[in-house]
Chain A
Amino acid sequence: MLGIDDPLIWGVYILCILSMILCVVYGLINWNRGEEAEVQEIAEEEAWEEEEEKMQSEELGL
């Protein structure tokens, strides 16, 4: 198959493409899922980002 005799090689060649398709299908199905709007989470993220921002700017001396 595909000019390759060893099934473990042509098999994985196809498996690579199949797993890519799995990723694409998963991404499409869940395209709009998982976007949280919880107030608590947003506050959490804000605090987190602020500290991250502060840490990085301090580190870089900006």
Chain B
Amino acid sequence: MDLMILNLVILVYLLATLYLGYRGWKATKDSEGYMVAGRKTHPYIMAMSYGATFISTSAIVGFGGTAAKFGMGLLWLTFLNIFVGIFIAFVIYGKATRKMGHNLNAMTFPELLGRRFESRFIQVASGLVIFLGMPLYASVVLIGAARFLETTLAINFDLALLVYSVIIAAYVIWGGLRGVMYTDAMQGTIMFLGMAVLLFETYSRLGGVTLAHQALTNMAPLVPADLAAMGHTGWTSMPVLGSPWWWTLVSTIVLGVGIGVLAMPQLVVRFMTVKSNRELNRGVLVGGIFILMMTGVAFAVGALSNVFFLNTRGMIATAVESNVDSIIPVYINATMPEWFIYVFMLTLLAAAMSTSSSQFHTQGTAIGRDIYETLTGQKGGRSILLTRIGVSTAVIMAVILGYYLPGNVIARGTAVFFGLCAAAFLPMYTLGLFWRRTTRAGASAGLIGGTLVTVFMYLFVHKAESAPLGIAKMVLGRDVLITQMPWPVVDPMLIALPISLVLTVLVSLITRPPPERHLDLCFRGMKKG
């Protein structure tokens, strides 16, 4: 570790952040109202800020490490990230959400749902699902940052987690919530350049694209026996169809995260703050390139790290580092020049911060606005206090979880929360936007059904969670309810989402349609749906 270089990099980085933060703040303060400044916001900055919230240490460190274990099959997730997470999200969901959000004057995701269905229950229950479910996701983002600190600075993980959490708490409380778009864009730009260098370096070290892939293909016989028994066939081929490995890759990692992104509360809110459809149209261009460079590169490089570790240390990545959450940090530290490692570290921390702050803010508003205000009808003073308490509680919960969660957890923890959001919110959110006939009862049924089935599956059916949680063992005397394959490895979302969808549609059809007047308000300025 070269302290001189490290300090220099940190100093330059902080100065640039401060300058851009000041510029962003000034730009909004000087203009006539927030809106004008917003209209001038460059679509590059808007899309980068969406990207920086979407992509965190979880995607790069957690899922990159997972790619080192599973191989390039993870690129299916990159495909969904771009096609669903950017294209469909911006073009179809983004535009409709923006319009309806404005029509209903909604500030949070639960509020949008609550007002669309004129239901306090939906707003409160959605707030609760977010407040109780999100700490896991928030925690794994913290862990991703701490793992990188641990490896780069050679400090203890617990210390790294504590240091990072103190910084993040200060950042959130100090004012990271104002959507510091300029700094987000800078973080995004550095991430982009960093990943480009990483991609170029990796391929050129390994002799070019085809040779690098060929070397990885040739490593198939080196798959450890225990993984091969579960269906792992190599790093450039899909797992055996229907094997436990295949179900985990396809149902949990690819579909769970790839589809769940549509119903992520902290991302949906971004659409409601976008100024016009033009920004969304332009954002598609920037976002598509950005996401490919983030997850595409992280997954390809993660898989290829096996070749690098084989050439230099004679073993595969998971043999070098058994905790997949540490593989990307170890790889970058082993391959990149020192100054770049520090830049990359700060960028990852910044990326984690933009994600963490929006997560904590979302949890805080879930308590203050969605639960307290909705239940009591009171605004102002106490609800603000509760929001603050909510934010602090969320930070503390995430940190405590960070200490207790085991290794290899980042990708899984992310997938659990994405899956929960998909099952609980996606059907009523989608139908609420595009199907006028959706009723309050239908939406409630989908929300309750999706949430309960998800929780039940995690506790009693999906082995990866039910075994460590131990509740199934306590109640049933065994780890899972159904031992027959493939049930223990089918991701809960795959069952809960269809159930939630069917419930929403069926119950909507048998209940009275919502009043026309309310629907006209919701859908004002939108095509008849």
Contacts and interface: CB of A to CB of B under 8 A. Distances in A.
A15 B277 CA distance: 26
Interface in A1-33: 2-6, 8-9, 12-13, 15-17, 19-20, 22-24, 26-28, 30-33
A27 to B, nearest CB: 2
Interface string B89-116: 0010001000000110101000000000
B477 interface: no
Contacts of A17: 292
B40 to A, nearest CB: 12
Q: Which of A8, A13, A15, A53 has the most CB of B within 10 A?
A: A13
Contact of A16 (B82, B103, B238): B82
A51 B108 CA distance: 12
Contact of A2 (B209, B273, B277, B280): B209
A55 B278 contact: no
Interface string B44-79: 000000000000000000000000000111011011
Contacts of B237: 4-6, 8-9
Contacts of B217: 3-5
B236 A4 contact: yes
A60 interface: yes
A27 B214 contact: no
A23 B277 contact: no
Contact of A8 (B103, B215, B238): B238
A16 B73 contact: no
A2 B377 CA distance: 61
B130 to A, nearest CB: 17
Contacts of B214: 3
A41 B35 CA distance: 11
* Max chain B C-beta neighbours (<10 A), residue from A23, A24, A36: A23
A53 B75 contact: no
A6 B238 contact: yes
Given A59-B384, A60-B177, A48 B102 contact: yes
Contacts of B380: 58
Main secondary structure of the interface of B (DSSP, over half): helix
Contacts of B95: 34
Contact of B286 (A3, A12, A27): A27
A3 B213 contact: yes
Interface in B421-456: none
Contacts, number: 154
Contacts of B87: 19, 22-23, 26
A41 B76 CA distance: 39
A60 to B, nearest CB: 6
A45 B238 contact: no
A52 B273 contact: yes
B289 A24 contact: yes
A39 to B, nearest CB: 13
B107 A27 contact: no
Given A3-B217, A16-B75, A51-B107, A34 B277 contact: yes
Contact of B276 (A20, A35, A47, A52): A35
Contacts of A44: 102-103, 105
A3 B211 CA distance: 6
A23 B281 contact: no
A59 B212 contact: no
Nearest to A38: B525
B34 interface: yes
Contact of A4 (B86, B213, B275, B285): B213
Contacts of A35: 276-278
B285 A2 contact: no
Interface of B: 33-35, 38, 71-73, 75-76, 78-79, 82-83, 86-87, 91, 95, 102-103, 105, 107, 175, 177-178, 209-217, 236-238, 273, 275-278, 280-289, 291-292, 296, 300, 364, 368, 380, 384, 387-388, 525
7 contacts: A4-B213, A9-B71, A22-B288, A34-B276, A34-B278, A44-B102, A49-B33
Given A2-B209, A2-B213, A33-B277, 9 more contacts: A8-B238, A12-B75, A17-B292, A19-B79, A23-B87, A28-B285, A34-B95, A38-B525, A56-B177
